[in-house]
Structure 1
Amino acid sequence: MNIGKISLIGVPMDLGQTRRGVDMGPSAIRYAGIVERFKNLQLEVEDLGDIIISRTANRAPSHSKLKNLPVVAEVNRLLADKVDEIMKNHSFPLVLGGDHSIGIGTLAGVAKHYRNLGVIWFDAHGDLNTEETSPSGNIHGMPLAVSMGLGHPDLVNIQGYAPKVKPEHIVIIGARSLDEGEKKLIKEKGIKVYTMHEIDRLGMAMVMEQCITYLRERVDGVHLSLDLDALDPADAPGVGTPVNGGVSYRESHLAMEMLAESQLVMSAELVEVNPILDERNKTAVLAVALMGSLLGEKLL
């Protein structure tokens, strides 16, 4: 991964779920000094600002139980176009969320530039629900399923192609809260998942070694989707759906450092930072530090 230029795009959307506040995530991450951090790494940084989110479009009628489907679909279409443009300019797209429904648009923009895109989904949840299996109808629990071609056509067909990623090219890390439909899909599709059980048992170093080896043999580029709720709430309290017993601060940095060494990651997103629920912007500061490690920052 020889990254010279980073392009930031914010997506201040909280309509993929029901807890307010995550729309302020991009501002919190910028306030935590992400641009300055990257410049200190001698990287060229361009901040493309935020995608404008309509606060009234979500009242548009929908014949789906998916909450706010019209506006979530529209925002992801706009995001996919932006990410596609960034990729065409040979820059590293870093998307700042916003809830995890924005993963739909990010992957739609990235995947068309690879024959076999790999995805690392660093998350407490699987995000593999569909309209039929979702207990809530919240689209932030569906982006990985959508990207595999499963879900509402307004989401699945963004950028005019599907699927964006094959199940055998996905690795989920940090899972500890999976719905029954997601468990079934994981088994049916053979998706590689490292739950907290595997992380505890093997250690993060072994998990990442296996993940990197697995993807290197199968893909021509990797997208990292980093949901801050993958981390333990003690380290990352400012998330909408915290789950106890998560990945530690140091385990997360080690994972990012090993990905930096692998030179596999070509795009990334940070999602579910909710400053309303945070403690003095602790979670956004951590998110910025993790991106520093991903992009090559070292102690010595």
Structure 2
Amino acid sequence: NCLTAAGAVAGAGADAIIWADQHGDLNTPETTTTGFLDGMALATVLGLCWRRMANQIPGFKPVDPSRSVLVNARDLDAAERELLEKLPIVRTECPDWKSAAQRLKADGARQVHMHVDLDVHDPEKLQANRYTTPGGPVPEQVRMAMCGLAGPLAIAGLTISAYDPAFDPKGDVPPLVGELVVDLLSTLESK
């Protein structure tokens, strides 16, 4: 699930994060309307909530919101929208990844963690779980954006989350995730 990103960020010593997700995952225990922990995952990585728990992870340091890129978030709660107006989180859509990469580089990001929640995809083209909202990028757009972001940046780690085979009766998701990982590794290898 998305909360695994906190451990992966700590393990990689990441000082920046790319978060591709249809949700903001920026709720806190005070703002959530559902209590869904995954909806607090990016907020945890940024040190906005669950600080005592996150500090128990060896090596965990919250990522500065100015070194955070939120890709294709389209299903946001009111509190998340309000928070995004206050925090310097870079928001982008898949085709517009270049300026986000330039911003992270300019801000001195040295070790970037990439998190891809598969529900970022347009559910008409790829449905990986039950948490879907209409719209979003097609798999090729996600793959191009993630590889484009990985090209100029030092990617230290990757988490891929939220696959539920019950919502993928044809088994479309695993091969497409495999393509994404292979293309990302090829991008990193060619640096």
Alpha-carbon distance between aligned partners in 2 of 1:126 and 1:106, rounded to the nearest angstrom:
18
Percent of matched pairs sharing the same residue: 28
Aligned residue among 58, 68, 87 for 1:189: 87
Number of equivalences: 186
Alpha-carbon distance between aligned partners in 1 of 2:58 and 2:173, rounded to the nearest angstrom:
35
Contact 2:126 2:138 in 1 (8 A): no
Alpha-carbon distance between aligned partners in 2 of 1:148 and 1:226, rounded to the nearest angstrom:
16
Aligned residue among 257, 266, 271 for 2:147: 257
Match for residue 102 of structure 2? 213
Q: Which moved more, 1:100-109 or 1:263-272?
A: 100-109
Match for residue 6 of structure 2? 104
Uncovered stretches (5+) of structure 1, i.e. residues with no partner: 1-98
Match for residue 155 of structure 1? 53
Bigger Rg, structure 1 or 2: 1
Alpha-carbon distance between aligned partners in 2 of 1:118 and 1:260, rounded to the nearest angstrom:
12
| TM-score scaled by length of structure 1 | 0.58
State the 1:254 CA deviation: 1.3
SS of residue paired to 2:186 = coil
Amino acid paired to 2:72: G
Alpha-carbon distance between aligned partners in 2 of 1:231 and 1:155, rounded to the nearest angstrom:
30
Contact 1:127 1:141 in 2 (8 A): yes
> Is 1:139 aligned to residue 44 of structure 2?
no
Amino acid paired to 2:26: L
**RMSD value over aligned CA atoms?**
1.9
State the 1:286 CA deviation: 1.3
Q: Write the mapping of 1:1-300 to structure 2, written as runs, cut at 5 A.
A: 99-110=1-12, 113-114=13-14, 117-159=15-57, 163-194=61-92, 199=93, 204=95, 207-218=96-107, 219-296=109-186
Amino acid paired to 1:120: I
Contact 2:105 2:153 in 1 (8 A): no
Alpha-carbon distance between aligned partners in 1 of 2:154 and 2:126, rounded to the nearest angstrom:
26
Uncovered stretches (5+) of structure 2, i.e. residues with no partner: none
Structure 1 runs of 4+ with >6 Å offset: none
Alpha-carbon distance between aligned partners in 1 of 2:56 and 2:33, rounded to the nearest angstrom:
24
